[in-house]
Structure 1
Amino acid sequence: MSTWTVDRAATTLLACEDERTDREPITDQWPDLDLRTAYEIQDETLRRRLARGEHLVGVKLGLTSRAKQERMNISSPLVAWLTDAMVLPAGAPVPGARLIHPRVEPEIVFLMRERLAGPGVTAAQALAAVDRVYAGAEVIDSRYRDFRFTLPDVVADNASSGAFLVGAIGLRPEQLDLTLEAVLVEIDGRVVDSATGAAVQGNPAEALALAANDLARRGLAIEAGQLVLTGGMTDAVPAPAGARIAFHFSSLGSIHLSGGA
């Protein structure tokens, strides 16, 4: 019988984050860890974050791209939490000094005007609850060595949360085509990748609906005023010290980041 519990897993993952140490996947030692229990671990880590003074600011989706699911050998997207401690101020470098092995990816971000609660939310209903659409950049940082994990592992680890940045340009949903909104990924002046919003569940609004319906299974909802990061449009890129990273969106402007020591 495994000696692992929700409490032990939450303590272990938060300690890895605080001490900047990585480890093998929890499922190496707890092979029976299932998704329901993994989300209990995730919610327990959130409870502890809030208890130490952080504030909940939104929701993030992970692994919404089919290509990324295949690369990570994961079968479905997942939902996790954003707190104010994860906000990266504009112009600040990627906080390498407090992260383990940060990687950065471009995202489409929604600011919610209305509460969105499942089950049964459609993409159209989800989009109708959105106030503004922004460009975003997420800094992911798994507590697992070499980003090796199963779906329950990464759910428990709050979907590899690290930090995030929201761009300055906010458009109403009807002002752009989310499926065609494109991004170019530039590193040190060289374009290395590109994608459109269609890479995110076919449409980022589908990812938003998925998040609302997934949270409903846990008796939760996306609240008015919260941010929703809909998942990486491209694969994440490393952010070594001194690197110059830019995400150029077709309608939502550009986000510039530098790798921090």
Structure 2
Amino acid sequence: MSPQDLQRHGAALHAALRGRHTLAPLREQCPGITLEEAYRIQEHMVALRVAEGERIVGKKIGVTSKPVQDFLGVYQPDFGQLTSGMVRSEAEGVDLNALIQPKAEAELAFVLERDLVGPDLTATDVIRATAYVSPCFEIVDSRIRDWTIKIEDTVADNASCGVFLLGEAKADPRDLDLALAGMVLEKNGELFSTSVGAAVQGSPVNAVVWLANTLGALGLPFRAGEVILSGSQSALVPVRDGDTLVCTVGGLGRCTARFHGRSAVAS
């Protein structure tokens, strides 16, 4: 694929994001698209957000748990860039009017107090570099029609990033067994799912190690202050106006996400 084609597809995905509409899967538009080309398209899409005034605030790991892999039919992790325009708070909730076809994921966020430069990092390196972990929700949102995605589609679409919010609860990761810490997810006051950290690559910290080493090999370090989303521990949760989600992590605390408004494709 030519550089001009990569830029064109990145621009089309960015326009879909801003215009709240969907596109045909990239693998249909570009038969034979490679994973490397998909990441190059992602770079162009994110660069357009930065050019509008947003800044990179972290990274996300996607498609790490079996429920999400089974839903999407994607069986390898991917990564995307988090920007300042994606940040939401528990107090403000999530405005669905800015999204297309959102689904929520409950997970653990790592907030770094110092740089991490891979490759060859270990779990110990990640834990030492982490200021704290918090329960969080990522609201994923695909610019690909009807979520009919494979790995190349979601990678090009910045790993289906939508928005995210961190819970106010914080803990030193050295004080928790991240693999065994249980997570309870409730939707509108009713139990939706339960899981443990081991559902994500054996432990959320393993997912962060994978990403730090993968990006480090590409010359992309983690920076102090960045937020790293370690991957969903729950199945994807469709959300709509009036919904409230609460995820509680044993030994850590909870994160609450309240939703209002109407997405472009209402669930």
TM-score using structure 2 length: 0.93
TM alignment of 1:149-164, pairs within 5 A: 149-164=149-164
Give a deviation string over 1:176-210, Cα, whole Å, max 9, x none.
11011221111111101111111111111111111
Per-residue CA deviations over 1:123-160 (Å, capped at 9, x if unaligned) read 22222211111111101101112211111110110111
- Aligned equivalent of 1:20: 20
Q: Secondary structure at the match of 2:146?
A: helix
- Give the unaligned 5+ runs of structure 2: 262-267
Q: CA deviation at 1:4?
A: 7.7
The answer (yes or no) to whether the contact 2:58–2:82 under 8 Å persists in 1 is yes
Alignment of 1:82-93 (within 5 A): 82-93=82-93
Q: How does 1:1-261 map to 2 (within 5 A)?
A: 5-261=5-261
**With structure 1 as the length reference, what TM-score do the two structures score?**
0.95
Q: Give the Å deviation of 1:70.
A: 3.0
Say whether the 8 Å CA contact 2:167–2:255 is kept in structure 1: yes
Q: Please state how far the C-alpha of 1:220 moved relative to its aligned partner.
A: 0.7
DSSP-derived class of the 1:259 partner? strand
Retained in 1: the 8 A contact 2:11–2:48?
A: no
Alpha-carbon RMSD: 1.6
Alpha-carbon separation, structure 1, partners of 2:3 and 2:127: 44
Deviation at 1:115, TM superposition (A): 1.1
1:9 offset after TM fit, Å?
Answer: 0.8
Partners of 2:232 and 2:10 in 1: CA distance? 25
Seen in structure 2, the aligned counterparts of structure 1 residues 21 and 4 have a Cα distance that, compared at 3 Å, is farther
**Does structure 2 retain, via aligned residues, the 8 Å contact 1:100–1:141?**
yes
Partner of residue 265, structure 2: none
Give the deviation of 1:2 after TM superposition: 9.1
Deviations 1:209-260 (A, max 9, x none): 1111111232111111111000111112111111122112212212222221
Where in structure 1 are there 5+ consecutive unaligned residues? none
Amino acid at match of 2:202: G
Aligned partners of 1:135 and 1:167 also within 8 Å:
yes
**Number of residue-to-residue matches in the alignment:** 261
